[in-house]
Amino acid sequence: MTSRIARTLLGLVLLFSSWEPCMGTNGDYLPYKDPNKPINTRIMDLMNRMTLAEKIGQMTQLERKNMTADIVKDYAIGSLLSGGGSVTKSEATAREWIDMVNEFQRGALSSRLGIPMIYGIDAVHGHNNVYKATIFPHNVGLGATRDPKLVKKIGAATALETRATGIPYAFAPCVAVCRDPRWGRCYESYSEDPTIVKEMTEIIPGLQGDLPPHKTGIPYVGGKEKVAACAKHFVGDGGTTKGINENNTVADWHTLLSIHMPGYYHSIIKGVSTIMVSYSSLNGVKMHANYDLVTKFLKDRLRFRGFVISDWEGIDRITSPPHSNYTHSVLAGVQAGIDMIMVPMNYTEFIDTLTSLVKNNFIPMTRIDDAVRRILRVKFTLGLFENPLADYRLVKHVGSQAHRDLAREAVRKSLVLLKNGANADKPMLPLPKKASRILVAGSHANNLGYQCGGWTITWQGVDGNNVTQGTTILDAITEIVDPSTEVVYSENPTTEFVKSNNFTYSIVVVGELPYAETAGDSRNLTITQSGIDTMSNVCGNTKCIVVLISGRPVVIEPYLGNIDALVAAWLPGSEGQGVADVLFGDYEFSGKLPRTWFKTVDQLPMNVGDKHYDPLYPFGFGLTTTKVQDQIASR
């Protein structure tokens, strides 16, 4: 009898303790806080309680700079973000990131309805804003691997490191199909071929988790170690005229659907939570104002059920010059179907403008409710209402050895061997580890920032080795060769230096300097002049392997005659050992070109399948090598 009473009392205690988080300040039961209720029921209950101001607050995303927890509370702000390089402090630890995010979250939770905010960040090749995080190869390199399973693992590792800093939302992946390498964002694209881009959407279940059965197309995030993903930039951003960033894409309906849209079909099928709109225009219509594509096609026809987010000040750029008619921009952007507006700084202007447009019947409440419903669906799916505050249990995963090993594997598989000796009978690679003296040269051989590229620690990328944790290509070479081999490093050696030192062979690592977005637009696609000079001084005077660090194909044909072996290493990230692993034969070259390598820029744009296709190296090209044992070099 006593045990029966005890069990009954225990059951009542558990019942009431589970109800406590579902109670309001007045003791009333709040269905939207009840995790046992269906998501649609919770959304409906919460929206019925929300004022117009609270709904517009949910549609507003602010940059963390100059923000306070009180601002988040007072305006019921729905989201915050870190732009490229926006950190709580230089070299902040994962714990310090969590402290910062949680402080803002407590502001959101102290608002009238306690709706948690969602924090987003550009984790586009690993958690790249964060000091000591693992930096994976940029997407162009991953496209060269032709390995969707590997990319899925990278998504899972990126999600874990992002969550380890308290952040549940990543602005990735970029599913653009870059059709012109002059575009400054081309390295964010997996390939010029939409089939490869489509296959690489496998990163989404890596970031978010595998969709449960019978949930196809519904936004999904599978637990505290996963993040909400964002397919971007909808749509056609990789097809702009002359590759000019944010420019106009001219395309008929068939081209749009066959080239630029497949990545979005498959992202939606795999449950992507959000989609970001492109700065670019399509046939003269700004995508941020394109109702036909954002609402009628993406939402209505493709039945995308997550939320649509603008790019950074994207609605401002609907007008030219930007922000010249802000009321029109807000009206056009929201009416086009954008649900969350990235308003980094001028939040009161946006909130006041949108409020006025609704109150004066220029924007119907049905449009506001559609936006808020979608935002709340993602937040409920993320579990933010149950677990709004991040804890410290995942901090150990930032830059973990397991993730660095994965990145090293990705580097190995991304390398594309373009030339290997004068002919197949006399290959230059793989290199012998045992040699008397070898030269390592070039501006990119001993520069971690250069080998990571843009979107690393800062928006435009960085210079030097004291920016984050990783291994330079020089250090990797020094470590992998036989202890008896003398490694001589000279960034810009003279011809006389090369001739006088009797090197067994030389490795020249050169390429592009880091860049992002418009700053990377290039009409000539050349590497640095110092790189050209180094190739000239070294190659031809010794056996020479050139490793190119670049976000895209660059002009190389004029120099090929003096180069014995040529490797496209793209932007490999923090784990330079992956380059040495393959150069010295511990692993085979297996990467295939994700992009056509042109002869001259006058041929551009040129893509596989074009009528007049005359490349230096065709799409899909890539020589292979065989894994070998150490051998002694002959002179």
In this predicted structure, the answer to whether residue 5 has a pLDDT above a threshold of 80 is no
Burial annotation 316-341 (CB, 10 A radius, 16+ → b, else e)? bbbbeeeeeebeebbbbbbbbbbbbb
The CATH code that applies to domain 415-633 is 3.40.50.1700
> Mean of the pLDDT values across residues 107-119?
98
Q: What is residue 11's predicted lDDT score, i.e. its pLDDT?
A: 53
The 10s digit of each residue's pLDDT in 469-508 is 999 999 999 999 999 999 999 999 999 999 999 999 999 9
CA nearest neighbour of 259 among 187, 174, 198, 201: 198
SS3 121: strand
- CA 150, 155, 161 angle in degrees (round to 5)? 125
> Mean of the pLDDT values across residues 392-410?
98
Q: Are 585 and 431 in contact (CB under 8 A)?
A: yes
| Domains of the chain, residue spans | 45-397, 415-633
The 10s digit of each residue's pLDDT in 55-83 is 999 999 999 998 999 999 999 999 999 99
Q: What is residue 24's predicted lDDT score, i.e. its pLDDT?
A: 78
Burial annotation 418-437 (CB, 10 A radius, 16+ → b, else e)? bbbeeeeeebbbbbbbebee
pTM over 0.85: yes
Tokens in use for 573?
């990230």
The 10s digit of each residue's pLDDT in 171-216 is 999 999 999 999 999 999 999 999 999 999 999 999 999 999 888 8
Q: What is residue 3's predicted lDDT score, i.e. its pLDDT?
A: 62
Q: What is residue 424's predicted lDDT score, i.e. its pLDDT?
A: 73
Q: Are 179 and 607 in contact (CB under 8 A)?
A: yes
DSSP-H helix ranges across 392-494 = 401-414, 448-452, 473-480
Half-sphere exposure of 377 (CA within 13 A, CB side): 21
Strand partners, 128: none
The 10s digit of each residue's pLDDT in 324-339 is 999 999 999 999 999 9
> Mean of the pLDDT values across residues 596-616?
97
Residue 210 and residue 309: Cα distance in Å, rounded?
23
Q: What is residue 139's predicted lDDT score, i.e. its pLDDT?
A: 99
Q: Are 319 and 329 in contact (CB under 8 A)?
A: yes
Q: Are 158 and 573 in contact (CB under 8 A)?
A: no
In this predicted structure, the answer to whether residue 555 has a pLDDT above a threshold of 90 is yes
The 10s digit of each residue's pLDDT in 423-463 is 877 999 999 999 999 999 999 999 999 999 999 999 999 99
Q: Out of 188-197, 225-234, 545-554, 620-629, which region has the weakest mean confidence (pLDDT)?
A: 620-629
**Phi, psi of 86, deg, nearest 5:** -85, 105
Q: Matching CATH topology for 45-397 and 415-633?
A: no
- When the candidates are 3.90.1200.10, 3.20.20.300, 3.90.79.10, 2.70.98.20, the CATH number that belongs to 45-397 is 3.20.20.300
Catalytic positions = 311, 517
SS3 256: helix
Q: What is residue 28's predicted lDDT score, i.e. its pLDDT?
A: 87
What is the share, in percent, of the chain residues with pLDDT greater than 70? 96
Q: Is residue 360 very low, low, confident or very high in pLDDT (cuts 50, 70, 90)?
A: very high
Q: What does pLDDT average to over the chain?
A: 95
**How far separated are the first and last CA of the chain, in Å rounded?**
93
Q: Is residue 14 very low, low, confident or very high in pLDDT (cuts 50, 70, 90)?
A: very low
Strand partners, 439: 488, 506
Burial of 602 (0-12, 13-18, 19+ CB in 10 A): exposed
> Mean of the pLDDT values across residues 610-629?
92
Q: What is residue 425's predicted lDDT score, i.e. its pLDDT?
A: 79
In this predicted structure, the answer to whether residue 23 has a pLDDT above a threshold of 90 is no
Q: Are 236 and 298 in contact (CB under 8 A)?
A: no
- Helix H or strand E segment including 262: helix 262-269
